[in-house]
Amino acid sequence: MGNLEYRQVPLFLSTLDVGVICNRSSAFGTYCFPQKAMEVRACNVAANVSGTQSLFEDHPEWLFTPEDPGHLAQVIENRLKNQSTGYGSILTWSDLADKLDVIFQTVRDRSQRPVA
């Protein structure tokens, strides 16, 4: 397919039957945010690494064991049979800002407690 123009990417992603997010169990796999997983939500299969587990906590059956081609094939086959997309709501920037605000307030409150 070569390089796609930016405006062509959503069309390409929407044609996929399955999109596979391949990460190894490594520092990158642990700490990266799998943006592609958000972009291809309806057809996802992802490596079961720390960076993807929270995105798929409601669907662990969509995760495959990294570097296990047999398990990957099994998960892809299952996704092709069951194409459910029960994701719940997708967070907006405002939602994420609210969550971050709660984290900051919690840290502030803990730092203001007197040490016993």
Phi and psi dihedrals of 7, rounded to 5? -70, -15
In three-state secondary structure terms, 75 is helix
Q: What is the mean pLDDT of the chain?
A: 83
Give the tens place of pLDDT for each residue, 65-91. Answer: 999 999 999 999 998 888 777 666 677
Distance from C-alpha of 52 to C-alpha of 34, rounded to nearest angstrom? 7
Distance from C-alpha of 36 to C-alpha of 90, rounded to nearest angstrom? 14
Long-range CB contacts (within 8 A, 24+) of 102-111: none
Q: With cut-offs at 50, 70 and 90, classify the pLDDT of residue 93.
A: confident
The answer to whether residue 8 scores a pLDDT higher than 90 is no
Among candidate residues 51, 56, 64, the one with its CA nearest the CA of residue 40: 56
pTM, rounded to two decimals: 0.57
